[in-house]
Chains A and B, each alone.
Chain A
Amino acid sequence: MTAPVIEIKGLRKTYGGGDTAVHALRGVDLTVHRGDYVAIMGASGSGKSTMLNILGCLDVPSGGRYKLDGIDIGSFNETQLSLLRNRKLGFVFQSFNLIPRVSALGNVELPMTYAGLGRKQRRERAEAALELVGLSDRAHHMPNELSGGQQQRVAVARALVNAPALVLADEPTGNLDSKSSNDLLGVLGRLNALGRTIVMITHENDVAAHARRVVRLVDGEITSDHRQAPL
């Protein structure tokens, strides 16, 4: 069996020090295998954003171990982390976070540009990714010419274009109406069916219902880990 995509043990994160120290994560253990679709749920302040930042290699833990796709990132410096984000991770944010004044196609090409791929290959793979999210006809539109749902689908295309080990979604439906939300969850479900590993942060039960597994965080600790569909 291949190494799990995520393997964390005793993960801690503390902000500040002394009396005012905030313990965002108090020893979390979590293992996510390839092809899983996990929803991390929790109220605000439960530590789920901190969790996402660490999983996304945007922040480093205060204690514990984190192996991403079998690689222990404990000793990684910033350059290595950015390389890791580029090759192993794809992000979908609540507020879409497309680069303004860059076309949908250009946004999807960006991770491959940083990875150093050639122009032709980038173009082909970006078009394929846009096709997968059903936006081939919007490839040359600027972000401000797209609806929220379309922007978020472009973001999904950008997240998966480098064939990452893990797609991280942070409240991906938070800024969408219910129809766009359903469209987007459909896209994520299809991606997972094709074998992508997805970890999604949400606080909505009906969004979490689309995942195969639901993990609940309360005050920086996992209180329940429930599988609702087989791997």
Chain B
Amino acid sequence: MSPLEVLRFAVKGLLANKMRSVLTTLGISIGVAAVILLTAVGNGASKAIENSIAGLGTNLLTVSPMRGGAATAPRPLTVADAEALADKRIAPDIRSVSPVVSAQATATYRGLSHSVGQVIGTRPSYFDATSSPVGSGAAFSDSDVTDARKVVVIGQTVAQELFAGDDPLGKQIQLNNIPFTVAGVLAQKGSSGLQNADDTVVAPLTTLQYALTGTGSLNQVVVQAESAEVITAAQNQITAVLNQRHGITGSSTSDFRVQNQQQLLSTRTQAVDVFTTLLAAVAGISLLVGGIGITNIMLVTVTERIREIGIRKAIGAPRGAISGQFLAEATLLSMIGGAIGVLAGWVGSRFSFSGIQPEVLPSSVLLAFGVSVLIGLFFGSYPASRAARLRPIEALRHE
């Protein structure tokens, strides 16, 4: 029997139960589309992180506290720590130091409310250090920080959510029911991978401490080195200053961490890689479930067609022709499902998900389609061999 004949029988078999074939195909389609789309989202996220961190500049250092470490009495980062770092005599390679506190808050304006991704309290040097230029209006000043004035600079997302096209400058918004005046709007930054960098509100450090976070510890200290060349020196100076202030000697473990952008990048991409692997695993499982669906349906089909198999055997169909027919049906199901899945995944990746533009990995398309075809062969082989092993007299007697 020629392969073409086998294919013809398989197509006939599938068309005999259109609804069933379509639903089985759907299982594989969803699996393949999920693999392609989810890996594309993961890929897009890590690309976005790379871009956003590259945009931050190479002379940026971040100091963050390490809690739960082995330090005997971990001390929080404080404003005093930040001020010590700003001392040019001890740390000559540091250009600016911006202490940062962050909080979650709900912003409201005339009945519209929006839960802000990140509310940051800091000093004006933060805008320059993190390459977050103010697009319209102005940043707050050092005197705003000193006097704890209730002014804020808001991100693009917040501006859109609360003002929907109106000019937010000079308007009063409320953060957790505390009124703030909008002094400026940040320029568009885009997504930084897992979080939206435009969904932010920046306020003077002191204001936010009094209003929301309290005057205790800092979440972060953002340090700008004089240049990219002296970044290692700056990193050493920060470590020396803080070690001294926190009473850390060579043998005890540090209670803070100084990271440059390269390190930050690798931590974040590691996080995204874990996330991508998880997504791919979930998608892989759904593909597997689709495959089991094929086995299930093919077993039902074989049982339904026992008599037909008996007739075919009686008129001289060899085992290979019978198993070939059912194997071809299963593989055809999974191939059609795979093709639809590839198409759906590709179309789906045109849309962006919570700020992430998915980027389809060509290897994931090949892998998902290839695996779906293999799934058809693998999961179809059991029902097919069962059909081929049927004894003709018993099959003919089956009602």
A positions within 8 Å CB-CB of B: 53, 56, 58-59, 78-79, 82-87, 89-91, 93, 97-102, 110-111, 113-116, 158, 162
Contacts and interface: CB of A to CB of B under 8 A. Distances in A.
Contact of B396 (A87, A97, A100, A113): A97
Contacts of B392: 58
A93 B396 contact: yes
Rank and list the top 3 A-B pairs by shortest CB-CB distance, nearest first. A86-B316, A85-B316, A111-B315
A101 B16 CA distance: 7
Contact of B308 (A90, A99, A158): A99
A85 B393 contact: no
A97 B393 contact: no
B311 A113 contact: no
B315 A110 contact: yes
A86 B319 contact: no
A113 B319 contact: no
A114 B321 contact: yes
B315 A91 contact: yes
Nearest to B317: A114
Contact of B318 (A83, A90, A98, A100): A83
Contacts of A93: 396
A58 B317 contact: no
B1 A114 contact: yes
Interface in B313-342: 313-319, 321
Interface string B197-220: 000000000000000000000000
Contacts, number: 63
B314 A58 contact: yes
Contacts of B321: 114
Contacts of B313: 82, 85
A111 B393 contact: no
Contacts of A89: 316
A115 B312 contact: no
Given A86-B317, A98-B311, 8 more contacts: A59-B393, A82-B313, A82-B316, A87-B316, A97-B307, A111-B315, A114-B317, A116-B1
Contacts of A162: 316
A111 B1 CA distance: 11
A99 B316 contact: no
Contacts of B16: 100-101
**Category for how many chain B residues contact A:** 20 to 34
A23 to B, nearest CB: 18
Nearest to B5: A113
B8 to A, nearest CB: 9
A79 B308 CA distance: 19
Contacts of B5: 113
B12 interface: yes
Interface string B386-397: 000000110010
A90 B315 CA distance: 7
B12 A110 contact: no
Contacts of B2: 116
Contacts of B308: 99-100
A53 B311 CA distance: 13
A53 B5 CA distance: 29
Contacts of B1: 113-114, 116
Nearest to A59: B393
Contacts of A82: 313, 316-319
16 contacts: A58-B392, A79-B318, A82-B317, A86-B315, A86-B317, A89-B316, A91-B315, A97-B314, A97-B396, A100-B16, A100-B308, A101-B12, A101-B16, A102-B12, A114-B318, A114-B321
A53, A85, A113, A115 — most chain B CB neighbours (10 Å)? A113
Nearest to B395: A58
Contacts of B396: 58, 93, 97
Given A100-B308, A113-B5, A116-B1, A78 B314 contact: no
A86 B310 CA distance: 13
A89, A91, A99, A158 — most chain B CB neighbours (10 Å)? A99
Interface in B1-36: 1-2, 5, 12, 16
Contacts of B393: 53, 58-59
Contacts of A79: 318-319
B16, B307, B392 — most chain A CB neighbours (10 Å)? B392
Nearest to B314: A91
Nearest to A50: B393
A90 to B, nearest CB: 8
Nearest to A54: B393
B311 A99 contact: yes
Nearest to B6: A113
A94 to B, nearest CB: 10
Interface in B121-148: none
A98 B314 CA distance: 12
A6 to B, nearest CB: 18
Contacts of A110: 312, 315
B40 to A, nearest CB: 41
B377 to A, nearest CB: 22
Contacts of B319: 78-79, 82
B315 A85 contact: yes
A85, A102, A114 — most chain B CB neighbours (10 Å)? A114
A92 B32 CA distance: 47
Contacts of B316: 82-87, 89, 111, 114-115, 162
Contacts of B311: 97-99
